[in-house]
Structure 1
Amino acid sequence: MNLLVDGGRHREALLALEDGTALRGRSVGAEGETFGEIVFNTSMVGYQEIVSDPSYAGQIVTFTYPQLGNYGVNEKDMQADALHLKGFVCHDACYTPSNWQSVVSLPDFLASRGVVGIEGVDTRAVTLAIREGGAMRAAISTTDLDPKSLVRRVRESPHIEEHNYVADVSCKEPHVVRPKGEVHHRVVAVDCGEKTGIVRRMAEVGIEVTVVPWDTPAEKIIAMEPDGVFFSNGPGDPDTVPTVPETVRAILGKLPVFGICLGNQMITLAAGARVEKLPYGHHGGNEPVMNLLTGKVEITAQNHNYGPVFSTFGPLVPELSGGLTEHPESLLTWSRMHVAPVAMNERYGRIRLTHVNLNDGTPEGIQFLDLPAFSMQYHPEAKPGPNDSAYMFESFSRLMDGREDYLAIDVREGRRF
């Protein structure tokens, strides 16, 4: 059955979830079928940055905002050269965008990149299914329109934890990104699925970045004599890339280290702490996070299904943790106390919790107190999203300068107007 939409002929499509949910809609993008882990994103704008984010490798992205594509797609907002997401789900896709920068419509863009998508479904129902059942396997198909058949095939499909998606999205050869002005520091960035917006933001604060593949040995990185090392965001389960925590472990204490998202998880694993899979993750540009060092709240952009468990870094240091001797059940305790607690880690000494998510109390940032390293779980480059956390790139520069107060920056200092 073909459906006529906006003057174009689009095949019927079917979305099936592991829990048995099946929704009919219209094909948007490429025809065919795709399987992956389904998540939802709550951003109201920035769909191009989202679909081009390598961190979505292996995932089917459902957008909660009702219409996608009204301002089209341009060249400058791409976060990677290729699209790595498995599929695209929205309520209504715009085929006639209106924006002076637009060069192609979103549906045509997806089709040209081979991304299978579906529109015309109740994305509220999809989101509720994910919130209640957690991130789960799913499929979109224009060829198998039998709900029982597609649900069965979804349940037989691989889990995201069975594949190393970092190896798929990382660069194959090193390359250098230079600032337009004076170079203040030189950094090696380990590409686990790095968004281009992150490298550009580092360049804006005078950092020359040499981007290297995810499996570059620590000895080779150290031999490049950088001022610091950055571990990037990326897709999938951190346990599928065990070599990266080993690289982190070999560098910690020798050079300043900074990590974002998957990089934060890699630093966590390097410290011997545990990373857990969240029920449905954080995907969107409106997550409130408190900086426990300043008491200020930042609205952040996030994209991850995994995160650190702060209590597994080690026991609390009471005199640095508001007098508490045991880890509280909820990290929101620290936001109420306005205390940045410190755990004593067996490998690296004191590690401080610096940021907490105010929605669910998950840890969002850590700082090593006995060696130069810090990381956060969210995306300070804000591609897309608010700029409240952009100061983190200046923090990295200050860390390489040897400043002890590198993280205590008021969010207003890092905002761009």
Structure 2
Amino acid sequence: MKYQTKKKAIVLLADGTIFYGKAVGNKEGTAFGEVCFNTGMTGYQEIFTDPSYFGQLMVTTNAHIGNYGTNEEEVESDSVKISGLICKNFSYEYSRINADKSLEGFLEDNKLFAISDVDTRALVCHIREAGAMNAVISTDVDNVAKLKEDLKNVPNMEGLELASKVSASEPYFYGDENAKYRIAALDIGIKKNILRNLAKRDAYIKVFPYNTPYKAMAEWSPDGYFISNGPGDPKPLKDAVAAAKEIIANDNPLFGICLGHQVIALANGISTYKMHNGHRGINHPVLNLETGKGEITSQNHGFAVNREETEKNPEIIITHEHLNDHTVAGLRMKSKNVFSVQYHPEASPGPHDADYLFDQFFENIASAVKNDTLV
């Protein structure tokens, strides 16, 4: 073992429950955030760099983390976005031929504090029963009273606006400027693989900051609009909701993923709510209600769209539902060129069952472009 003597560490939950572990890399540290868990067997590097996880303490349920190292091309943003990592067995050695670094080195480069040797089964069972809550991980095991006081000052995720923390500060371009279509993407926490999926379908994307008004995006004359995934509560995103309302009013093709899905719901007067646990993993079952086909999906969200209000809205059709709890996993507007899903069709490393949704978006764009030409 690389570290014969590891520093003691704890996971202290807001309800006072404590779990014990050891510091990864024998480092001293403390990190705060909302504790959540992901059930994926692979893809930990993508999880750690996903902007949707900004400010969260990640519990990985897979027993071994780090065994295949990291690769600089397998990131979803320019840095690690979780606030800390909690795992069972941390692998200091790796055995993948195309890895360029150990996970330990990757975490050190990103200054991320992590702890291992935690009974993650017991921790996840506790979270499932008690619900998502704030927590702290720390090697300061002799000052639990102070950690409890500090934890009280950590803001709750409900009502928290985090898109501004991860969004681009200035517009930027992605893809081939000579591509067939132009997509205006509102960045409220966009993942790189979303941009890759748009670009490979012959699109040139201009990515706009989270608070960009519709008029500023429309001046670029895009063929379609996209609202990204992202962290935090959707309710404080007043600018994004206002932009979505104008996109809808102008009948522009619009596609939203995850937080973008929630923003589109809010733009239609449908409320959202904080879930007891949220959905985070790469094996979530979804039913496409329009085709009758099932999909295995990647999900990462702690908020959801109110189903009762969605069913009562005369302009909205529920297109997908989560089969575990029947939450709204997708919707589309009857009279507008607008649809969205709560999960991640761009998932890397997978699954890819929902990849068709990008094709559907471009079919909508092509139809709109054709109709404009005829007019």
Short-chain TM bin: over 0.9
Residue 201 of structure 2 corresponds to: 205
114, 138, 141: which one aligns with 1:141: 138
Check whether the contact 2:310–2:318 (CA below 8 A) recurs between aligned residues: no
Q: CA deviation at 1:126?
A: 0.9
Q: Cα RMSD over matched residues?
A: 1.7
The one-letter amino acid of 1:47's match is Y
Find the counterpart in structure 2 of residue 364 from structure 1: 329
Moved more, 250-259 or 278-287: 250-259
Instruction: Give, as a single letter, the amino acid of the residue that structure 2 aligns with 1:248.
Output: A
- Post-superposition shift, 1:178? 1.3
Does the alignment pair 1:125 with 2:90? no
Deviation per CA, 1:3-27: give whole Å up to 9, x if none. xx52466422111111221112111
What is the Cα deviation at residue 81 of structure 1? Answer: 0.5
Equivalent position to 1:219, from 205, 215, 226: 215
1:153 to 147, 150, 157: 150
Query: Within 5 Å, which residues of 2 pair with 1:34-73?
Result: 34-73=31-70
Within 1, Cα distance between the matches of 2:277 and 2:179? 40
**What does residue range 181-196 of structure 1 map to in structure 2 within 5 Å?**
183-196=179-192
1:256 has 2:221 as partner: no
Alignment partners' CA distance in 1, 2:108 and 2:123: 23
The alignment partner of 2:217 has SS state of helix
Equivalent residue number for residue 292 of structure 2? 295
Work out the CA distance in 2 between the residues paired with 1:8 and 1:101: 28
Q: Determine if the alignment matches structure 1 residue 380 to structure 2 residue 345.
A: yes
CA offset at residue 153 of structure 1? 3.2
CA separation of 1:151/1:385 partners in 2, compared to 1, >3 Å: closer, same or farther? farther
Q: Note the alpha carbon deviations across 1:76-123, whole angstroms, 9 max, x for none.
A: 101000112111010011101111121211122112211111100000
Q: Secondary structure at the match of 2:235?
A: helix
Q: Is the 8 A contact 1:290 1:296 kept in 2?
A: yes
Deviation at 1:33, TM superposition (A): 0.8
Q: Is the 8 A contact 1:41 1:62 kept in 2?
A: yes
- How many Å separate the matches in 2 of 1:298 and 1:313? 21
TM-score (norm 2): 0.93
CA distance in 1, matches of 2:310, 2:289: 18
Q: Does 1:391 align with 2:356?
A: yes
Structure 1 unaligned runs (5+)? 316-342, 345-349, 404-417
Q: How does 1:71-150 map to 2 (within 5 A)?
A: 71-150=68-147
Is contact 2:171–2:206 with CA below 8 Å preserved after alignment?
yes
Q: Report the Cα offset of residue 152 of structure 1.
A: 4.2
* Greater alpha carbon shift after TM alignment, 109-118 vs 171-180: 171-180
The equivalent position to 1:283 in structure 2, one of 258, 280, 283, is 280
Aligned equivalents of 2:318 and 2:307: distance in 1?
7
* 1:248 alignment partner, SS class: helix
Show CA shifts across 1:238-283 (max 9, x none): 1232211011111113211110000000001111101011110000
Residues 14 and 145 in structure 1, CA contact (< 8 A), matched pair in contact too: no
DSSP-derived class of the 1:238 partner: coil
Q: Is residue 161–residue 240 contact of structure 1 (8 Å, CA) maintained in 2?
A: no
Contact 2:38 2:59 in 1 (8 A): yes
Amino acid at match of 1:266: V
Describe the superposition over 1:293-325 as per-residue Cα deviations: whole angstroms up to 9, x where unpaired: 11000000000000111221362xxxxxxxxxx
Deviation, structure 1 residue 224: 1.0
State how far apart, in whole Å, the 2-side matches of 1:194 and 1:48 are.
16
Distance 2:196 2:352 in 1: 14
Alignment partners' CA distance in 2, 1:275 and 1:162: 11
* Residue identity matched to 2:331: I
CA distance change for structure 1 residues 398 and 26 in 2, over 3 Å: closer, same or farther? Answer: same
CA distance in 1, matches of 2:58, 2:236: 21
8 Å Cα contact 1:190-1:214 kept in structure 2: yes
Map residues 224-235 of structure 1 onto 2, 5 A cutoff. 224-235=220-231
Distance in 1, Cα, partners of 2:348 & 2:300: 11
SS at match of 1:161: coil
Amino acid at match of 1:223: E
Q: Runs of 5+ in structure 2 lacking a partner?
A: 369-375
Alpha-carbon separation, structure 2, partners of 1:303 and 1:224: 31
Percent sequence identity over aligned pairs:
39
Counterpart Cα distance in 2 of 1:77 and 1:136: 29
